[in-house]
Amino acid sequence: SAVISQKPSRDICQRGTSLTIQCQVDSQVTMMFWYRQQPGQSLTLIATANQGSEATYESGFVIDKFPISRPNLTFSTLTVSNMSPEDSSIYLCSVGQGAGYEQYFGPGTRLTVT
């Protein structure tokens, strides 16, 4: 299993600012993912964070809005840029070794944009 921590656990930010969320894993993992969960909704995959290369973004998400870094096999960051109230969500990171393996999730970062 993998233990995942996220920082911050929650934040309240003003419109137009940016927030960087950190995801730390206690072991080296191949794949890291970032999700968004809006209030009362299911999880939506934002991107796959690849170590040593650009992240792969899902439809509807762009690098300018959600830049991602993956400097090593245990750490990743997601930045939410130029925030608006519509970005108020829980942001979660997860890790896995591929489809044949379980995926582990962090506790999430609750973001409120005012």
Partner 1 sequence: DAKTTQPNSMESNEEEPVHLPCNHSTISGTDYIHWYRQLPSQGPEYVIHGLTSNVNNRMASLAIAEDRKSSTLILHRATLRDAAVYYCILTRNQFYFGTGTSLTVIP
Alpha-carbon torsion angle 52, 46, 76, 20, nearest 10: 130
- Nearer to partner 1 among residue 19 and residue 96 (C-beta): 96
Interactions with partner 1, residue window 13-42 (CB under 8 A): 31, 33, 35, 42
Neighbours of 14 (CB within 10 A): 8
Closer residue to partner 1, CB minimum distance, 16 or 107: 107
Q: How far is the CB of 16 from partner 1 (least distance, A)?
A: 28
Q: Rule CB under 8 A: choose which of 39, 60, 85, 98 binds partner 1.
A: 98
Cβ 108 to partner 1 shortest distance, Å: 5
To partner 1, the closest distance from the beta carbon of 24 in angstroms equals 14
The site for partner 1 (CB under 8 A) is made up of: 31, 33, 35, 42-45, 48, 58, 92, 94, 96, 98-100, 102-108
